[in-house]
Structure 1
């Protein structure tokens, strides 16, 4: 089944939901099968951290077969490869090129050259134009170079998304994992600035304590308030919370419709601004409202087109 077409935003690229992006260990056949019916907006079939060295080759075969099967449509499917500097990185990229995945996730990106090398391997392996790259920022050097990384021009395999690797970043910083995530805010902000300056999506990092759902929800709320599009996840039990927090509510969608209508009425009357419930409405608010409605439409289309969860 083809992916749904998100509602357009005037003057902008289509919105693609990435509220919940779930890592699935590619070595685990049972997990890959279960992923077919999970309500994640996107899946990352993982060949890196979740796979032991002895299982790398088998995991690669499983990931390619899973992506090629079409079983996860219409959700976005990405494959996280091992870094190019590892013994598995180039073979992972060459295999992913022929998998039919939507994107390839590169870990520990610290320079634009890594993206260019990865794109060259994909192209040499026959990857179709448009297979995107997602760059993980998870080291101090990577975050300090986030702007240069985000500006990398790759016409055939464009950079589409920056992904925070908060676990590795905390380790590299020797920082504590606190509920308020204050030690990570500088890195999170650098990622967001680089992404938004270059029209890229931005995904928040994982929450390691899967039993602490209240803490997970707090991290999601913080991530949304900061501006992230969604959150990377390591367990299906967190999907519902991420989808709820990063998706617009019915009240927000109704408010967006009112903003667009009020501004259109003001423009028709020759006015540049208008007050709605005592608040000033300008063109920037209209743009935000259009994006909210487009995201809501895309989420609804994804839900209709996705396979039902088992009863």
Structure 2
């Protein structure tokens, strides 16, 4: 066994080379097989700074979804390089971002791509803020991980980069998260034309657009207009939340949107408190203290004190 081990180790460099070539051949055969079986097309690699994808598909989701809608992506050299996508929950925003990134990546490694046509220009990198992989060993909060990913994309991307951002800013309070998101997008929009990367961003901060927080620029494109709702209640029902809880959430959301005061369900309103006080007072004033049969001690113990105690506990 020792002689065999020594003989293998003497030829380890050649064996590693054979393994590398075999793995590469296996990868190329798998890509070729997938291309033929799933209807991929050969992409065009060009020297311009555009990205054009016609009827692109997600290579994995289309295999396990009974219905998959193909979507196109266009980013030119001087227009619509920064795209903001809004839409209801579970509408496919994240899938769209990922399919664009995967198609570009597959084209750059020499594979056919799941699209009708694809013209990929010069690219030097793909930067993402897509998922927050938490770990105790990292010692960072979820939001800090998001910030690190965003900082890397802002500091390292160039005019030939693709940047994919999904739901940045949701890890902190709404105002701060919305402000950081608006500032990040504005940073790219104010850069010289040749330094603006291809940016594809999905967000549920609809007020980012409704409040006009972004500067006016031909580089900015809002795909299919602006979404006005999230359908969060429907998604909550599908997730199995109790119907009463979902209904209460809908009521609070409506009160918030209309600017009306939201009443706490665990604390009586001032009107309700006044009604309870009035009931207690009227009950006491209705007593005939001259009545010899009146058991005042019983009334105080059984009627008045429980009502007053309940009133104090709810206040």
Indicate whether the TM-score tops 0.5. Answer: no
Give the TM-score category using the shorter length.
0.3 to 0.5
Q: Which is higher, the Rg of structure 1 or of structure 2?
A: 2
Tell me the TM-score normalized by structure 2: 0.33
